[in-house]
Structure 1
């Protein structure tokens, strides 16, 4: 669905994040080995970027390719003149959120607007207060990634009363919420889990074995975690060779994921497959397998099949190392590109869809270099808009 995707991630921004003690994913605390893993991932990215530059000269683009940076930015220079966009994230530490916020900010500013990012640090009550604070700024649009899909409703109702359009990004609201959402933008979360299960079934069929799966779940109070779980389990239930032995809620925390894998693998010694519901927990999975002497790359007889979700920088590195077999891509940049185009169309009087759902892309060793986790974060201001077909902007370039 997405055509080609930008460049490789540069280490500088990731290293800065790690230096501040930030985690690589979902807003939870890193496991003991996460800093080393992220640094290794960043170093690998730099090496690959240098190789790509040497091969292509100007630097090759990957899936969801940006329209030639300077030209596309110049064309859109006044599309949002005088408009303020407020983006209230859930946190500002994860790779996903860093790319999402920085990219949307760059796009809005390149179009002559301004973008204020607010970081509630995964605190739902703080996020609700930030929504109310944003009302004073009278933005043209409020973009939000809800932390608590129910608790945020009263605050968003006040945004409705003020006549400010609400755009939910990546995370929606509870069903039948009495909030007017101008546009909900989200990867089909069920497809993320289902894509992982399809790979597990295929690997088991080709290998002539039954996939005995242990699952590292996210925060099950979130519908994102619920949909990823059901996507995997519902598909697995239709097969004869995928069996889920155990599941443990790990709340997007790599330390909890480490403990979960240690416990589940010990209790289920015949487990040969791990489904990790988000890359922010993957370092804990890798650490646990290493301590259990079960960590080995694909092709090694000790290899445990691992499927993950996100394709963030660490996830990409683990695929390249052979430890993770497939990632269901949860594309941070694509979400923000769509949000930008929706905002431009909205303020310029075009009708916008109430919901934009899009499927994942399966990433493996053959195409992992094209994943969003391998984008050049340092150059975000010059990316320009993406060439993608999930949402095409209606407003003509000026």
Structure 2
């Protein structure tokens, strides 16, 4: 009897040891001896913005390089649609979710849904207010806001009158860029007006037209992204004024505008790199590796000079 018990214990130990050394489910070979392809679900806030198109391209190119499949959905800046999109991605059996939130609060529910069924979540450019996010891959938005404010101080001078065009209310990038900007602007500049233009070029044009009428003595403009900055430039030129405008992102249209002498400057991100880094983080998470909660991508100030 003791011998039988000993044999059973040994068998049990072998089984336990073998299980603990198994690779994750996605990495196990299938019947043909090939490894199962990882399926990434990518939810983008909007593809009507060159920055996020580049971010998507970074994800897709790196995933192809790594032999992974990507399913891309476009929220069209609609937080309710984005939640439904992510639910659909979960139903399609993705192994990991890469989410660029439209609204950091609204996305929290589906992040928690993914958590409950064991699908890891990585966010890009903007965070989720709640839920377990394995990593946020983004530029340091607070630092970028500070860089913009300091540039205005250096170019226009202390106590310059500034208008701030804010991004989508509730988005972490809006909060963080504004926070960094005001850390310097509240001491060195005079922010005479601020209003959301929802990261949109046309809305940036319309908002800037209205703000110019009520604030004709404005000396500089800081927009939370390049799309709003380019809209603001149109309004300023139509009004026959010459006012420095600083954007944020470094998208191709903004860089062309700077080269042409229209947009004054931008705090340039690297969206392709952000996408690539997010895929690598996803691969590490699925492999059981621990990744940093925050994975920063470098920023740089771009001017015509």
TM-score (norm 2): 0.82
Select the residue among 183, 187, 190 that pairs with 1:234. Answer: 183
Correspondence 1:193 to 2:145: yes
TM-score (norm 1): 0.64
User: Does the residue aligned with 2:183 lie in a helix, a strand or coil?
Assistant: helix
Equivalence for 2:224: 277
| Most deviating of 130-139 and 188-197 | 130-139
Residues 155, 172 of structure 1: alpha-carbon distance in 2 compared, 3 angstrom cutoff: same
Q: Which runs of 5+ in 1 are unaligned?
A: 1-79, 295-302, 367-398
Asked whether the 8 Å contact 1:146–1:171 carries over to 2, the reply is yes
Asked whether the 8 Å contact 2:268–2:299 carries over to 1, the reply is yes
Number of residue pairs matched by the alignment: 271
**Hey, what's the Cα distance between the residues in 1 that align with 2:208 and 2:113?**
43
| Most deviating of 193-202 and 115-124 | 115-124
Could you say which structure has the greater relative contact order, defined with CA pairs below 8 angstroms and 6 or more residues apart?
Answer: 1
Correspondence 1:152 to 2:104: no
Equivalence for 1:96: 51
User: Does the residue aligned with 2:254 lie in a helix, a strand or coil?
Assistant: helix
Equivalence for 1:259: 206
Asked whether the 8 Å contact 1:311–1:327 carries over to 2, the reply is yes
Equivalence for 1:327: 266
**Hey, what's the Cα distance between the residues in 1 that align with 2:297 and 2:57?**
22
**Hey, what's the Cα distance between the residues in 2 that align with 1:100 and 1:197?**
26
Q: CA RMSD in A?
A: 1.9
**Hey, what's the Cα distance between the residues in 2 that align with 1:111 and 1:249?**
39
Select the residue among 260, 280, 290 that pairs with 2:237. Answer: 290
Equivalence for 1:119: 74
Equivalence for 1:39: none
Equivalence for 1:363: 302
User: What is the CA-CA distance between 1:163 and the residue it aligns to?
Assistant: 1.1
Asked whether the 8 Å contact 1:81–1:111 carries over to 2, the reply is no
Asked whether the 8 Å contact 1:184–1:355 carries over to 2, the reply is yes
User: What is the CA-CA distance between 1:358 and the residue it aligns to?
Assistant: 4.3
Deviations along 1:337-369, one digit per CA (max 9) or x if unpaired, are 211221222233322112223452111124xxx
User: What is the CA-CA distance between 1:334 and the residue it aligns to?
Assistant: 1.9
Asked whether the 8 Å contact 1:142–1:164 carries over to 2, the reply is yes
Task: Give 1 or 2 for the bigger CA radius of gyration.
Answer: 2
User: What is the CA-CA distance between 1:282 and the residue it aligns to?
Assistant: 2.5
Residues 322, 347 of structure 1: alpha-carbon distance in 2 compared, 3 angstrom cutoff: same
| Most deviating of 227-236 and 352-361 | 352-361
Deviations along 1:154-207, one digit per CA (max 9) or x if unpaired, are 222221122111111111012xx2x121111121211221111111111134xx
User: What is the CA-CA distance between 1:286 and the residue it aligns to?
Assistant: 1.7
**Hey, what's the Cα distance between the residues in 1 that align with 2:249 and 2:274?**
13
Equivalence for 1:218: 167
Deviations along 1:311-333, one digit per CA (max 9) or x if unpaired, are 11111111101122221113211
Equivalence for 2:193: 246
User: What is the CA-CA distance between 1:90 and the residue it aligns to?
Assistant: 1.3
* Equivalence map 1:1-398=2 (5 Å): 82-174=37-129, 177=130, 179-205=131-157, 210-239=159-188, 242-294=189-241, 303-366=242-305
Residues 222, 346 of structure 1: alpha-carbon distance in 2 compared, 3 angstrom cutoff: closer
**Hey, what's the Cα distance between the residues in 2 that align with 1:95 and 1:322?**
20
**Hey, what's the Cα distance between the residues in 2 that align with 1:334 and 1:314?**
18
Deviations along 1:96-124, one digit per CA (max 9) or x if unpaired, are 11111122112111221211111222222
Q: Which runs of 5+ in 2 are unaligned?
A: 1-34
